[in-house]
Structure 1
Amino acid sequence: MLEINSNRKIIHIDMDAFYASVEQMDNPELRGKPIAVGGSENRGVVAAASYEARKFGVRSAISGVMAKKNCPDLIFVRPRFDRYKEISKKIHAIFHDYTDLVEPLSLDEAYLDVTQNKKGNPSATLLAKEIRTRILNEVGLTASAGISVNKFVAKIASDYNKPNGQKTVNPDEVLPFLEELPIRKFYGVGKVTTEKMYQLGIFTGLELKSKSLEFLSTHFGKSGAFYYHVVRGIHNSEVKPDRITKSVAAEHTFDTNLSSEIFMLEQLEKIATSLERRLKKQNIAGKTVTLKIKYSDFSQQTRSKTVPYFIADKGLILENVKELLYQERMKDSVRLLGISLSNLNTEQKKTVVVQLQFAF
């Protein structure tokens, strides 16, 4: 029978409104004001929103039009990814002062396994507090943290006392914590799955826990086993420092909708050039080319093709993208195009983690 592994000390660090906070840090005139990074009043999608903007329902992934409607005083800021990467490197350097078992999820969040750590500190709670203090003092930004026995619970916990806070879920608190948790707050349970669970009478972790493995597998397929185990605090996924890239992509949202394939090809060539640059920088190639199309009504479509050999060259990528573009007629004018390459030539690296038991 699987049991909770209470020997591990996992910290999930999540920067607070990272892109927006960087912009407010660099430009004092933006501090205390509702800002959205990405998009515009007329086009595009919001990449990040400041806490001042979030109060009005502005959040990532909503359209710039909707964001402005929700918050008329919203200030749009063009993203500066080079700057975000620069700041992210400083933050990750701090992480590595404590442990080499750091698994980045994105520029602004990561898992740290501090079961054994470079400071010799047995308290993951104190380590998380120290890391957050250093980020504030050395970088100038606030971060939140979740601390627990596995990645799943730590990830959920980091969202509890945002912004600029942390929450520890000790080994003996894991099951009560998960039982009381609303199902919509379970990491990995999206909007569609939440609605399906509601229809099945599952609103909390306790109600999820009452369902058998057979029941969950019947209704949720392979994900059923995942839900069955995590609600019991069982999630033994290791913190993987060498997280494998599964796909590389580039995309662009246009100022004016495109209705002609000729204009789309011109833009796709530029996107393919950007993708080629990213692939060569990382020394990556792939076999599966995917064309992403977002129409003027915000509906989205993807078309994919797998070739028998690895490619990274712009010409070969574009050749396959053209075929996908003409695969079927466009249903409407297009506001966004993207190209991604997956089925990559990256190899999985295994990390051996030695775990000792310490007091939380």
Structure 2
Amino acid sequence: MTERAILHVDMDAFFVSVELRDSPDLVGKPIIVGHPSGRSVVLSASYDCRARGIHSAMPMSQAIPLMPEATVIEPSHHKYSEASAQIMAYFHTLTPLVEQVSVDEAFLDVTGSMRMLGGPVQIAQKIREYIRAEMGLTASVGIARNKFVAKLASTYAKPDGLAVIAPERTEEFLHELPVSKMWGVGKRTADQLHALGIETVGQLATEPETRLISRLGEHGRALRLLSRGIDNRPVEVSRDEKSISSEHAFAVDITEPQVLEGELLRLSHKVGQRLRQHGKSANGVGIKIKYKDFSGITRSKALAAATDSSTKISESALALLRKLTPLAQPVRLIGVRAERLQDYELGLQFSLDPREEKAREAERIADQIGQKFPQSIVTPARFLRPKE
């Protein structure tokens, strides 16, 4: 039986690289992509910035002092989406088995493509050459017999490299790694493993399964399999989103309920737009609040019928917020989430109230205008944000 050949392709500092491609005068200079003011966070940083400790999701207020000479570039999401779409389209010319994990990474199962295109190393080189020559960007590629090891390999290939883990070398490669490098091991799980005296993947592989299950449940069984290089998950051609969310961090802590409600309205509008864009409807709505001291709270509710209506989502979100008032502390971040998603066609119920149908139709017309004129901003007047 032929061993699977799985590639994990991960773009190098993707947002930064797209900006440098379009502004070559900045090549060689430290770059941070993010909004420079308020409580924005770093979206991406050049490798020299990373060497100073700057990383994605770090507050800009912490990142800029670490490298004050860095050039801060405000993100251009439409450029990143266009570049991502071109890359993913190219992957599909090589194999139909492409699993896009995020805007800048994907798994490819090239097992069935090798007869026509050569071995996995040749295919990986072809990918890297295309991305460099046609797009002016760089990518790192990990090659292995499964997704777990391929992803680890691409990490070790960065930046702008290629790493191959042959099947017979899988356990040798894995066993010296710290358990914190494993997919599915966050800080909490790492702490639990450390409490068991497990520091490396090799130690995890020899740990009795019963002991892992007693501490971590079924997750312990799955981690033990991964530690031995066993990962039979297929490359999933379509990845159904379980939820769609949008959130906003305020420039200053907010105590006024009307400001929080206004923000929930606009976030609900965004979430509804994305539902309609993806052909999905939601059976539940949730909200997320982060307080001044960084503690947080979430609440959710089931809907009587699936919806893709921004109006319906906002009504549910507002009801959840009002049940929490008065709030325990000033709020630094608020978010809205549509959950338990299903395809639009599967049971969306139309209201008998003509006002609701008119509102839904208005939302769809606004969506169409936005698609035809991408630079325009079409939004209900009540969603406009007052100056903070």
- The alignment's TM-score, normalised by the length of structure 2, stands at 0.84
The Cα of 1:119 is off from its aligned counterpart by 6.3
The Cα of 1:206 is off from its aligned counterpart by 1.1
Contact 2:98 2:106 in 1 (8 A): yes
Which of 105, 128, 139 does residue 143 from structure 1 map onto?
139
Aligned mates of 1:72, 1:298 — CA distance in 2: 26
Extract unaligned runs of 5+ from structure 1. 348-360
CA RMSD of aligned residues (A): 1.8
Extract unaligned runs of 5+ from structure 2. 345-388
Aligned residue number for residue 353 of structure 1 = none
The structure 1 segments of at least 4 consecutive aligned residues displaced by more than 4 Å after TM superposition are none
The reply on whether 1:100 has 2:128 as its aligned counterpart is no
Which of 187, 205, 225 does residue 191 from structure 1 map onto?
187
Q: Which amino acid aligns with 1:91?
A: I
- The alignment's TM-score, normalised by the length of structure 1, stands at 0.91
Aligned mates of 1:45, 1:295 — CA distance in 2: 17
Aligned mates of 2:46, 2:112 — CA distance in 1: 35
Contact 1:41 1:68 in 2 (8 A): no
How big is each residue's C-alpha offset from its partner over 1:73-119, in whole Å with a ceiling of 9 and x where there is no partner?
A: 23322221111010001111221121010000011000000001176
Aligned ranges for residues 1-360 of structure 1 at < 5 Å?
A: 7-117=3-113, 120-328=116-324, 329-346=326-343
The answer to which of 179-188 and 26-35 deviates more is 26-35
Between Structure 1 and Structure 2, which shows a larger proportion of helix residues?
A: 2
Contact 1:6 1:171 in 2 (8 A): no
Aligned mates of 1:21, 1:276 — CA distance in 2: 31
Rate the CA distance shift 1:219–1:346 in 2: closer, same or farther, 3 A.
farther
Aligned mates of 1:123, 1:190 — CA distance in 2: 34
Aligned mates of 2:267, 2:302 — CA distance in 1: 19
Aligned mates of 1:95, 1:249 — CA distance in 2: 28
Contact 1:247 1:342 in 2 (8 A): yes
Higher RCO, 1 or 2 (CA under 8 Å, sep at least 6)?
Answer: 1
Q: Which amino acid aligns with 2:240?
A: I
How big is each residue's C-alpha offset from its partner over 1:293-346, in whole Å with a ceiling of 9 and x where there is no partner?
A: 223333333221122421211121111111211222323222222111110114
The Cα of 1:58 is off from its aligned counterpart by 0.6
Q: Which amino acid aligns with 2:206?
A: S
Query: Alignment length, in residue pairs?
Result: 343
Question: What is the aligned-residue identity percentage?
Answer: 38
Structure with larger Rg: 2
